[in-house]
Amino acid sequence: MKRLHRLLLRMYPKEFREEYGREIQLAFEDRLREGPVLWSLLESVWGMVREAPLEHGRLLADDLRHAWRKAKNEALVSGAIILTLGMAIGINISLFTLVDGLLIRPGIGINEPERVVRVYGKDYWTAMTRSYPDYLDLREGVEGLEAVAAYQRYEVLVQGRKQRVNAVSAGYFQVARARPAKGGFDGTRLGEDVLVVAEGFARREWGGVEQAIGKELRLGRKVYRVIGVCAGAFRGFDDMPVELWTGLGELPRDRGNFGAVHLVARLADGVPMAVADRQANAANLRGWRADGVKQEKEVMQLGPYSVLRGPKAPKEVSLTLWLAALSLIVLVIGCANVAQILLARAVRARRERVVQLALGASFTRILRQSAMEGMLIAVAGGVFALALAYLVSPVVAAWLLPFAEVADFELGWSALAVSGKYKEQLEFTPWQRAPQTRVAAWSPGRDAGGIHDGVAGWCRAAGQESERSVPA
């Protein structure tokens, strides 16, 4: 029992043990002689369980105070370390934020993004876009694809500012499984120019989702009426976000026009991409034959919906990866510098350590104090690095990826620090995850249609109807 108690005393920090351990043990042995053995042990153990963490905490606080005093006394050296560390980590955060946003995280606002694929061409010249008949082939003849959509992207002037717009086919929102925040489809207005806007856009332009419905917006020369608001953070399938969607309408059935549309699709549940790929190519070849054109070779391939992760990734991506590797080297050099400064400081503090040892401080205590000093400086360096990265990230993004908007690469964690005022702008950030939408199943519309059909099915699937909706 005595040995067990002696062993349990190890719960205390060494300093406390050395000072009072023997006394505690003696008192425990005295109590054993007087009272019930088990009760005495339990009483003592309960006391240790309560007190030992407090003693550890007290020592930690002491070390922290000591580290703070020391950092203050050697402000110049501490400042140099914090600066070096902060810069090295800050640059790394900026570059990895970029890599993360481009390559690692799945798309925002897209439910189960791993099931969303893009149709690429095997030929270099037709890699990114397909013909309109290709879209029809896939939409009607591939079991392995739950939804298929075609879209075109363009830019127009909206209220004096260039805006990206997607003209989308039926099934577009079903591929992403995005849901409407508000709005619906009025079947009687099939011929009108209608528009779906992102929730953030609606809030910025008209102060809310409710107010957006029915509003008119001039895109270039045409005026469009807003019929729906896309909820959540969905901003299209491209790496450059889009907030405005118009209808694609019927396009000419020209098999040779490979530059007509971008194609995206959602894999059916449990269907691997390779299987869907084979089915898609088979359907495509059937389509060619039906149009009376001889085509033996498979011309399309399915891949990740993000072009930057796909087989035809642009050169900026590899540049970013190289820079990320370079930034790692910068980090290592930064750390080596810091280690050197710390070593110099440790050599200078040798006399102080000797005095501490002579006064009875244990080796572990001195080691812990040194670790605490290092940790304090590391935390300060980390905070500086985050601040630096917050400022530098958009600039680095603008420099390396001129095709993207600076706002697209703000730091993800900044969302924690900013007020609701900027929330909508931050919803643009590519690392925000898709909200889990409520759309359980979706059957793509049979008509060629355009955004009308897309939005109609979209609203049906979400089980919502607008106040303006009139069943077709």
Partner 1 sequence: MAKPERLDEAALSAFLPLHKENFHILVSLADQDRHGYSIMQDIAARSDGAVRISASTLYGAIRKLLESGLIEELSERPDPKRDDERRRYYRLSAMGWAVAKAEAKRLERLLADARAMGLLSEGRGRV
Q: Choose between 18 and 143: whose C-beta lies nearer to partner 1.
A: 18
Q: Choose between 29 and 74: whose C-beta lies nearer to partner 1.
A: 29
Rounded-to-integer distance, Cα 50 and Cα 42, Å: 12
**In sequence order, what DSSP letters do the residues of 75-141 get, joined into one string?**
HHHHHHHHHHHHHHHHHHHHHHHHHIIIIISPPTT-SSGGGEEEEEESSGGGSS-B-HHHHHHHHHH
Residue 59 binds to partner 1 (criterion: CB under 8 A): no
Residue 365 binds to partner 1 (criterion: CB under 8 A): no
Selected from 6, 14, 51, 99, the binder of partner 1 by CB under 8 A is 51
Residue 38 binds to partner 1 (criterion: CB under 8 A): no
Return the exposure string of 14-35: e unless at least 16 CB atoms fall within 10 Å of the residue's CB, then b: ebbbeeeeeebbeebeebbeee
User: Least Å distance between CB 368 and partner 1?
Assistant: 18
Cβ neighbours for 391, distance < 8 A, ≥ 6 positions apart: none
Q: Choose between 42 and 223: whose C-beta lies nearer to partner 1.
A: 42
Residue 6 binds to partner 1 (criterion: CB under 8 A): no
Residue 288 binds to partner 1 (criterion: CB under 8 A): no
Q: Choose between 23 and 269: whose C-beta lies nearer to partner 1.
A: 23
Selected from 22, 69, 204, 348, the binder of partner 1 by CB under 8 A is 22
Cβ neighbours for 110, distance < 8 A, ≥ 6 positions apart: 116, 176, 177, 178, 234, 237, 305, 434
Rounded-to-integer distance, Cα 280 and Cα 325, Å: 38
Q: Choose between 55 and 74: whose C-beta lies nearer to partner 1.
A: 55
Cβ neighbours for 438, distance < 8 A, ≥ 6 positions apart: 179, 462, 463
Residue 52 binds to partner 1 (criterion: CB under 8 A): yes
Selected from 7, 38, 54, 441, the binder of partner 1 by CB under 8 A is 54
Selected from 47, 187, 208, 214, the binder of partner 1 by CB under 8 A is 47
Say if CB 218 and CB 248 are below 8 A apart: no
User: Least Å distance between CB 41 and partner 1?
Assistant: 10
User: Least Å distance between CB 48 and partner 1?
Assistant: 4
Residue 296 binds to partner 1 (criterion: CB under 8 A): no
Geometric angle at alpha carbon 26, from 20 and 32, rounded to 5°:
135
Residue 27 binds to partner 1 (criterion: CB under 8 A): yes
Residue 20 binds to partner 1 (criterion: CB under 8 A): yes
**DSSP code of residue 409:** G
Selected from 19, 143, 192, 216, the binder of partner 1 by CB under 8 A is 19
Residue 60 binds to partner 1 (criterion: CB under 8 A): no
SS3 category, 178: coil
Geometric angle at alpha carbon 207, from 171 and 176, rounded to 5°:
20
Can you give the binding site for partner 1, defined by CB under 8 A?
16, 19-20, 22-28, 30-31, 43-44, 46-48, 50-52, 54-55
